[in-house]
Amino acid sequence: MRVHVTLGGDRVEIERGVFVALLDNSVASERAAYRHALEDGEIKFTELVEIARVGNIPLPLFFAPLAVVEAQLDLKLGKLLDGLTKISFSLNARDPVRLSDIELILKDLIRKQQMLKKHDPTLGKNTIVGSLSKRGKSIEADAARLVDLLGITDDTIRAAPKKDTAVDRLIRRLEANQVLVSQSQNLFMPQRLHGIHFSGMTVRDPKVPYIFLPSGDEGEHVAPAGRRTFTLTLLAVLVARGIFAPVNYDSTAPATTGRYEYDVAAEILMPAAEFTGFRPRTLADFEAVADEFRVTPSATIVRALRLNLIDDVTAGAHLAELRAAFATIPNRPRNPSKPVNAVRKYNGRELSRRMIRALDDGRLSAGDFCREVCLNNLAPGDIEEFRRGLP
């Protein structure tokens, strides 16, 4: 079967298999022009040019033989997966993570890693990557090792005045150890995550691994700030384990507790020796303990179940009550971020700080900085304001 490309009164045929192979697993697959072309067998040349641009697909590939297209797609996939393991890290999550949903973000983060290593000769050896590649004597021992390597203290998380502050402090400890942290900013990164639910991603690099953290509620019935604290800790554990993959987990599922990496993250945030002393029973007890450890009530319920402090029936009832309560919370529209703040948040402070230093040292120009670091979301005149927001 063929798809006809029309330009004026002329019609050119392209292989339907080529058309589908190039677009079906790209960000352009949701475009109406693509769907209509599959239904009608016809697409205007201007529409083809547009969806090729959106999908970041070289236009000549649409007119190449299928074997050539498949070889190019295999090559592209290989390059992308070089920064990831071949399977995603998933815990009880129903929503799969498609590579096309995050492909442009992944490519940009890999590009940023290469850019930083090119322009910053001061980067040292990363002590976090692979530090837990071999399991220690116990969950507690491995959690203590990672806490020590990251320099996490009680002041880092539990003494934070609120859960958002705990997330920020944890990010600072990761970045102090050359683990870059990018937080999604839909209007300021190369791909929107509208309607896409996943927990995060770890991107491989021996010196500057990246953690990508979607912002706010990822579609579960949990308090966003407390979930982000746990998610960020889990992603840090994955970096230490040498696991680099898209991550999706349901923090309200009791069976989640069976995974080693999850249990290490739980031990870091809610040490068993201290947690058991609270002996929580009622939902109000769990909410109070969640405030103490700066996590979500659901995380404390699952932790109590893992430590045999409550049974499955009690845990299920509390989690169901939390889901019902969360479902009644109205969605409040967020104010758009200021461009300099959004770019800095998507890049991460550490990459932004090091690239400002490269700019000051003359290793790249203001124009290059705006293009390579800021994706042209800032102009040279914005750089000083961008700089003032860095530590």
Q: Over the stretch 354-371, which tens digit does the pLDDT of each residue have?
A: 999 999 999 999 999 998
pLDDT digits (tens, 9 = 90+) for 100-137: 778 888 888 998 999 999 999 999 999 999 999 999 99
* Claim to verify: residue 72 and residue 173 sit in the same structural domain: no
* Claim to verify: residue 314 and residue 357 sit in the same structural domain: no
Give the pLDDT of residue 336.
75
Helix, strand, or coil (residue 8): coil
pLDDT digits (tens, 9 = 90+) for 258-313: 589 999 999 999 999 999 999 999 999 999 999 999 999 999 999 999 999 999 99
Give the CB-side neighbour count of residue 89, counting CA atoms within 13 A: 25
Determine the Cα–Cα distance for residues 381 and 366; give it in Å rounded to an integer: 9
* Claim to verify: residue 307 and residue 200 sit in the same structural domain: yes
pTM, rounded to two decimals: 0.82
* Claim to verify: residue 266 and residue 292 sit in the same structural domain: yes
334 inside domain: no
Give the pLDDT of residue 217.
40
Give the pLDDT of residue 53.
86
* Claim to verify: residue 226 and residue 356 sit in the same structural domain: no
Choose the final residue of a domain: 59, 81, 103: 81
* Claim to verify: residue 127 and residue 14 sit in the same structural domain: no
Domains held by the chain: number:
3
* Claim to verify: residue 250 and residue 103 sit in the same structural domain: yes
333 inside domain: no
* Claim to verify: residue 178 and residue 317 sit in the same structural domain: yes
332 inside domain: no
* Claim to verify: residue 282 and residue 374 sit in the same structural domain: no
In percent, the amount of the chain with pLDDT more than 90 equals 63
pLDDT higher than 90, residue 374 = yes
| Contact call for residues 11 and 3 (beta carbons, < 8 A) | no
CA distances for 41 relative to 3, 5, 34, 88, angstroms: 5, 9, 10, 35
Across 303-316, b (16+ Cβ under 10 Å) vs e yields: bbbbeebbeeebbe
* Claim to verify: residue 125 and residue 77 sit in the same structural domain: no
25 inside domain: yes
Mean pLDDT of the chain, nearest integer: 88
* Claim to verify: residue 18 and residue 110 sit in the same structural domain: no
Q: For the ranges 64-68, 73-77, 240-244, 347-351, which has the lowest average pLDDT?
A: 73-77
pLDDT higher than 50, residue 219 = no
Which 3-state string (H, E, C) describes 24-38? CCCHHHHCHHHHHHH
Determine the Cα–Cα distance for residues 182 and 107; give it in Å rounded to an integer: 13
176 inside domain: yes
Helix, strand, or coil (residue 213): strand
Helix, strand, or coil (residue 175): helix
pLDDT higher than 60, residue 87 = no
Query: 255: domain range?
Result: 89-327
> Which tokens go with 232?
């960020």
